[in-house]
Amino acid sequence: MLERSTAGTGSEDTDKEIEARAALVARGGVAELGGGALSVTLSEGLVLGLLAQGVRTWFAIFGHGSTDLGEALRIYDAAGALKVVNCRNEVEMAHAATAHAWVYGETPAVITSIGPGALQAMAGSLAAASNGVGVYHIYGDETTRGEGYNMQQIPKPQQGLFGQITALMGQSYVLHTPEALRECLRRGTSCVHHPYKAGPFYILAPINTQPQRMRLALGTLPGRLAIPALAPADSTVFTEAAQHVAEAGRIAIKAGGGTRAHADAVRRLAEHLQAPVVLSPGSTGVLPDDHPFNMHVGGSKGSISGNYAMEHADLAIFIGSRAVCQADCSGTGWPAARAVININGDIDDVSHYARTAALAGDIGAVIDRLIAVTPRRRAGDWQRDCAAAKSRWQDHWRARVGHPPVEDAVWGRPVLTQPAAIHRVAEFAKRVGAVKFFDAGDVQANGFQVVRDDAPNESVTETGASYMGFATSALLGAAGVARPRYGIAFTGDGSFMMNPQVLIDAVEHGVKGMIALFDNRRMAAITGLQLAQYGREFRTNDHVAVDYAQLADAVTGVKAVFGGTDAETLDAALEAAHAHDGLSLVHIPVYGSHDDFAGMGAYGSWNVGNWVEAVQANYVRQKI
């Protein structure tokens, strides 16, 4: 129970009491404070409530709307109960928090004030929302008393507008009174720790409620949500799924991002059904690269083998997939499929296709039951045909990543193609055990076709929002981690300039990692679309030469290296950058024209530009 107290704030005795509580929490967690009631401010109550859910890293840009919460964090940070990572850009810190949760499984918080800061942080949170990553976003809000316009509020005579905006992006709660804290935290953990579709949770903390005091009953604070694995209780839907399997001649599995946590279960099902597995950009590594059933990525970019399996399968088994436009070629990627088995915990996603046996629940639990009701299948012509398609893709892959340097008009000398350069850096990352973060654009598109991952999260590819600047910012996600992984950000010149603040913030917080900057002086992914659709490029490049190594070298603590123009020079540059005890940047010039050999290619359809009419005509002919 929460009750209002009339005690004042800011006294020396109160500061000492907070420091004593912070020391106890640092020593043994919130449980060290016992289960009784405390007289605390809403700000301290929020800190304690999030600590009870395991939130120990806060990415912060403090403003006028968060001074009281900042003071509570200062005391708990000084005691070692949590870590506050001060940042220089709200989009950057939103991405850093997303990467922190994605890679390390630890829920962080982002804190800023309403106004431009909150809008930028919320824009950055689109990456977390689109990829199912739970992060707390806390924005210092306007006063609840309405004594006149608050600086940075939306200048409109309407109540709680920032709470309404954040509610459109995801789940949101306005702390209108201190007594609302428990319900706020209950809703928060249900969102950020959701077992199937986590996302950002937005807490609006009004300026005047933060310092208000209350009685906080510690025993009633909601902990981190923990839901046991669930599967359908009715066996009818499993019987239906087993019938689909029995009638199918060509089964293919589509492994979406939700399979990253269930790689072993996906492999067991694939081997049980002798079914090739088509990956999404976010699920590389769910099957090891050389596994015979790994058909690589399928979709609008896709691959020869992945798209072959999609185009010819008569039964599609979707697992942990949202069926986004590029993953299923805008709904046209499965033209031969007569039925679907869909395994997903989210009701909307599991029922996306027609003719579906919807197996709603935990992926691992559902797969165990599906294996139990289906006989083990034998390999036949379908598996041999898919193996032949995979062999064609591997030949294509080797030709592209092994292509020699090519004379480039912009650079005035031969330079590596983008697939060849990405491959060299990806192989180096594999050798040193680094996690690879991919930025949006041509680097990302070629990247998920090039990488040879053997386990989930060897690559973190933010394809949900395709947010330029994500990869470099993601390196900061290692801040506050006890045993951080070495990270390499694969970014283009355009994406890098979206969020270069990590050059300073990574040094400030002792992050060790590398930025591999592939510079073709253009927005190559969009140029490629323009050329493919209309035969002309328009306003997707510039003529401004930038020495990115010199730019990075201006920041004390960053090691900047020129990556050279051939594979051997690039390998040496990567070694030198990796040896640096801190952040490094390798500037890699790459071939910028759109000759066939310069990219990995595209193998599916996509409902954009002047392709729309044909794609939509194919869509209405789909059977599922």
pTM of the predicted model over 0.85: yes
Average pLDDT estimate for 520-538:
87
Enter the CATH code of domain 410-592: 3.40.50.970
d(CA 267, CA 257) in angstroms, rounded, equals 15
Q: What is the pLDDT of residue 287?
A: 98
Extract the tokens encoding 144: 């609840």
d(CA 163, CA 205) in angstroms, rounded, equals 10
Q: What is the pLDDT of residue 577?
A: 98
Across-strand partners of 58? 84, 109
Query: For tokens 């190559």, what's the residue?
Result: 524
Q: What is the pLDDT of residue 371?
A: 98
Tell me which range, 213-222, 384-393, 462-471, is most confidently predicted by mean pLDDT.
384-393
Across-strand partners of 360? 344
Q: What is the pLDDT of residue 13?
A: 61
For residue 395, give the H/E element and its range. Answer: helix 381-401
Extract the tokens encoding 314: 């008569």
d(CA 363, CA 319) in angstroms, rounded, equals 7
Q: What is the pLDDT of residue 380?
A: 96
Residue 427 has pLDDT above 50, yes or no: yes
Local confidence band at 324 (pLDDT 50, 70, 90 cut-offs):
confident
d(CA 178, CA 581) in angstroms, rounded, equals 45
Extract the tokens encoding 470: 């994500």
Predicted confidence (pLDDT) per residue in 235-259, tens digit: 999 999 999 999 999 999 999 999 9
Residue 10 has pLDDT above 60, yes or no: no
| Dihedral sign (CA 500, 502, 504, 505) | positive
Tell me how far CA of residue 109 lies from CA of 49, 135, 205, 213, 334, in angstroms: 12, 6, 13, 22, 40
Q: What is the pLDDT of residue 325?
A: 85
Residue 438 has pLDDT above 60, yes or no: yes
Q: What is the pLDDT of residue 141?
A: 94
Q: What is the pLDDT of residue 514?
A: 98
Extract the tokens encoding 217: 């009953």
Domain locations in the chain as residue ranges: 3-220, 236-379, 410-592
Q: How many helices (H) and strands (E) does the chain have?
A: 23, 23
Q: Which of 222, 273, 518 is nearest to 375 (CA)?
A: 273
Task: Compute the half-sphere exposure of residue 479: CA atoms within 13 Å on the CB side of its CA.
Answer: 31
Provide the mean pLDDT of the chain.
94
Average pLDDT estimate for 426-434:
98
Average pLDDT estimate for 528-537:
88
State whether residue 513 is helix, strand or coil.
strand
Of the listed ranges 107-111, 468-472, 620-624, the one predicted with least confidence: 620-624
Enter the CATH code of domain 236-379: 3.40.50.1220
SS (H, E, C) 227-256: CCCCCCCCCHHHHHHHHHHHHCCCEEEEEC
Q: What is the pLDDT of residue 7?
A: 41
Q: How many residues does the chain have?
A: 624
CA angle centred on 370, ends 367 and 376, rounded to 5°: 110
Predicted confidence (pLDDT) per residue in 326-374, tens digit: 889 999 999 999 999 999 999 999 999 999 999 999 999 999 999 999 9
Local confidence band at 558 (pLDDT 50, 70, 90 cut-offs):
very high
Strands 251-255 and 277-279: parallel
Our CA dihedral for 78, 82, 83, 88, rounded to 10 degrees, sits at -100
Local confidence band at 201 (pLDDT 50, 70, 90 cut-offs):
very high
Local confidence band at 484 (pLDDT 50, 70, 90 cut-offs):
very high
Q: What is the pLDDT of residue 568?
A: 97
Residue 270 has pLDDT above 80, yes or no: yes
Predicted confidence (pLDDT) per residue in 124-176, tens digit: 999 999 999 999 999 999 999 887 777 788 888 888 899 999 999 999 999 99
State whether residue 487 is helix, strand or coil.
strand
Predicted confidence (pLDDT) per residue in 384-408, tens digit: 999 999 999 999 999 999 999 999 9
Residue 4 has pLDDT above 50, yes or no: no
Enter the CATH code of domain 3-220: 3.40.50.970
Q: What is the pLDDT of residue 328?
A: 92
Across-strand partners of 313? none
Q: What is the pLDDT of residue 529?
A: 85
Residue 273 has pLDDT above 90, yes or no: yes
Q: Residue 37: phi, psi to the nearest 5? A: -100, 145
Average pLDDT estimate for 53-73:
96
